[in-house]
Amino acid sequence: MMVRHRWCELVIKHKYTRAYEQVARFLQEDQAMGVYLYGELMVGEDARQQQLAHRCFELVKEHMDRASAQVVSEMLF
């Protein structure tokens, strides 16, 4: 789990677009660990990364615990 999370951090940091689907899968499957990644996607002000964050959040927000969903929502909007 931690290796996948670190991989996603590196993908985001280096804007490795070919692996964005792996980030999306991580955000959908590991919602609690993904909260930090949403922040990373938004902070770089990269339009494609921000779109990825919004798309993934729309898919999982109903399944996240309320506190995590609130934190992510504040990052995105």
Find the helix packing angle between 47-60 and 66-76, rounded to 10°. 150
Q: What is the predicted pLDDT for the residue at 31? A: 80
Please identify every stretch of the chain with a pLDDT value under 50, giving residue numbers as ranges: none
Residue 10 burial class via C-beta count within 10 angstroms: exposed 0-12, middle 13-18, buried 19 and up: exposed
Q: Which of 11, 7, 76, 9 is nearest to 42 (CA)?
A: 76
What are the residue ranges spanned by the domains of the chain?
A: 2-76
pTM value > 0.85: yes
Q: What is the predicted pLDDT for the residue at 32? A: 79
